[in-house]
Structure formats: C-alpha cells, structure tokens
Amino acid sequence: MNIDFLSPVNEKVFASIEPQSPSTLGKNIEIYTAQNGFPDLDGVSLAIIGVKEGRAAIDNEGCGNDLSKIRTNFYKLFPGKWELKIADIGNIEPGNTISDTYFAVSQVVSSLVKKNIVVLIIGGSQDITYANYRAYDSLEQTINLAVVDSHFDLGTIEDELNSKSYLSKIIMDTPNNLFNFSNIGYQTYYNSQEEIDLLQKLYFDAFRLGEVRRMELIEPILRDADIVSIDIGSVKQSDAPANYNANPNGFYGEQLCSIARYAGISDKVTSFGVYEYNDVLDVNNQTSKLIAQSMWYFIEGVNYRAKDYPYSSKESYQKFSVVLEDDDPINFYKSDKSGRWWMEINLITDNKYKRHALIPCAHQDYIKAIEQKIPERWYKALQKLI
C-alpha cells in the first residue's frame, strides 16, 4: 500500500491519549503518528481512515476539515472483549483536485480490502462513497451498496459529481459493478416521485424512515451489503447537530449505533463510512461523540461476526424448500449458529453473480413463502438477473 496518500494523526490528538487509562482504545490500537511512524498491518483486522475532503459538499461547507474531535472521543472509549487488532492509519488529505482525493481513497481502500482488512472511514462529504465504490473495480466482483440517508442523492446525469449526485454516477459510470442499492431511512418529502419510481424500476430497495424504525428490518439489508455509507444528516438534529443539512426528523442516536452494529456483524461488509460531519457546528462535541460511539458499535459487530454464511458447512444450517404454485421451489437456509435466514436464487450460472445467489432475509420471508407470497427482495434480485 502506498502510504504517501496518508498523513499521520494530529499530534495534539495523539497527546490527549497520555493521561487516559491504559485500558482505553487510544492505548490499545496502533496509530500512525509522526513520532511512531506507520503501523505494521500484519495481523490487523480493521483499519480506520480519515478523509478530509469536503469540496464537493452541497450546503455543508467545511465538512471534513477537522476530524480531531471524533478521534479524541473515540480514543477515550473502552473496548469490549475484542480479539481484533485495530489500526488508525491517519488521514487522506485533500488532493490538488477532488479527483486526486478520489484516486487516493480508491487506492488505499482497495489495498486494505485485498489484505482482508475491514475499512472504517470517517470524514468529509458523502461523495467519497463514489471513491469507495471505485476501490472495488480491481476486485472484479459486483457490489451491494447500502446507504443510510434521508435523500437518495441521485441528482441528474448533467450534475458534476458531488454529495447530492454521487449515486447517479455510481449507477451510470463504467465499469458498472453495482448489483444492488439499498436506501435506509429516506424521507419522502425530500425525494421526488420520479426518483422513487426510478429506484423501483431498477429493482433497488428503498425503505422509508417510518418503516425501518423497527431495527430488526434493517439487519438483512446490511447483511447483504459490501459497502455501507452513512450521512450523519440522517440522524435528527437534536442528536447530531454538526451538519448544515441536519433535520428535525431522522434516526435517534441509539438507532445509528444499532445500524452500525448490524453493519459490523455482516460477514460481507468490507467498508463502512460515516460522512458529512462538520466540526464548526459540533456543539458540546455531541456529534463527534455519537460518531465515535457508532464506530465502537461497528467494531463490536465485526468482532462478533458469526461467519455462518450458508455452505460453509452442510452441518451448520437447516434447509427448507417451499414450493410455490406454478413455480420452482425457493430454498431457505437457517443458521444453527446465529438463527439467521437466507433464501436462494438457484438460477444463477454466471460466476459474476454467484455471490448473490443467497439473499439474507428474515424468518417472516419464509412465512410469506409458505403463504404462497413471493418475498419482495427475492423477486427484485431475480429480476436483475433475467
């Protein structure tokens, strides 16, 4: 990995660790500093990266400029019973152009994912999600992207790539490696009916804020994702004020932490980012503390990954076949280890899509199939293949 793309953690932030308890995270993870140099990544399971790029932020000028408070609050936290080796490998500074920053993000994330290191990104504007997505080009696999946001951020085809148009670039630009997109928590009045209809035509998933307040509905969505991107503006302003686009309605802080943990538990998620944090609006460090806690919950989830993806061992799951009228059966798999469910599309022959043959689901999807109702997520996945 080219460490020239990365700058060390601010010395003042690193110095804040000194008076802390020896049990805190700051004293138990590897940190890239000017004094200690770049950490050895051998054996590292999770790497933290700051991205200080906010030039393409729309109506949130200054986001990503200073990530010090997030790190300071994160370092103060105490780890759980974790067996992970964690490294904070510093920041990607803004390049001469935004494209330079995107390139650096893609190169760093790609290098880490190839080393089987889970990437946790903190920082700037949400268009960094596009650079994160492009990091998977070299892996030659199709990608599932889950975004927690009150907006779809589609923009128009004519728009420059920015925090409000990055999704259309992901959908349209080549190489096109996107298999599925899921929005979690959109608010209808912020999105045109044309945009909602477009996502339906593409057989993508969009879940209104009111639907996903029941957290158990979110878990299968995140279990199927490779990349998870969170706009901190999806959290209500009273819980996360450090964003010029913050709204009175949104997720509660504890719900954000639940989402982060679900993302961490997913065996498929290899990169996770929290974006649109604006330091100048961080009253009483409230938002930086919330982001730090969501980082903690994501790592907690990664630590407790069940690694129970079906077919790992035929003895580790139960198989249920439901015959639908005038149709082939749908096979369901239940993990003996975690109790989680999957459903199978058994028509896939193209190796490019093999990893999408099993779709995470809930027990309720199995019940629907028994009632002769085709599960919606199974149907949408099938439509993208035929």
- pTM here is 0.95
Domains of the chain with bracketed CATH = 3-303 (3.40.800.10), 314-383 (no CATH)
Of 216, 202, 309, 224, the C-alpha closest to 255 is 216
- Strands of the sheet containing 341-344, edge to edge, are 317-322, 330-335, 341-344, 358-361
pLDDT of residue 156: 84
Give the separation between CA 291 and CA 220, rounded to whole angstroms.
23
The sign of the dihedral angle between the CA atoms of 152, 153, 155, 157 is: negative
Alpha-carbon distance of 146 to 224, in angstroms, equals 9
CA distance linking residue 239 with residue 232, whole number of Å: 10
pLDDT for 169 beyond 70: yes
- Rounded Cα–Cα distance for residues 373 and 367 (Å): 9
What average pLDDT does the structure give for the chain? 94
Cβ proximity of 205 and 186 under 8 Å: no
101-154 pLDDT, tens digit each: 999 999 999 999 999 999 999 989 999 999 999 999 998 889 999 999 999 999
- Checking if the pLDDT of 314 tops 70, the result is no
pLDDT tens-digit series, residues 41-93: 999 999 999 999 999 999 999 999 999 999 999 999 999 999 999 999 999 99
Cβ-Cβ contacts under 8 Å for 281 (sequence gap 6 or more): 241, 242, 243, 244, 246, 287
Which ranges of 115-217 does DSSP label H, i.e. alpha helix?
128-134, 166-172, 193-201
Per-residue pLDDT tens for 315-353?
Answer: 788 999 999 877 778 999 999 888 999 999 876 666 677
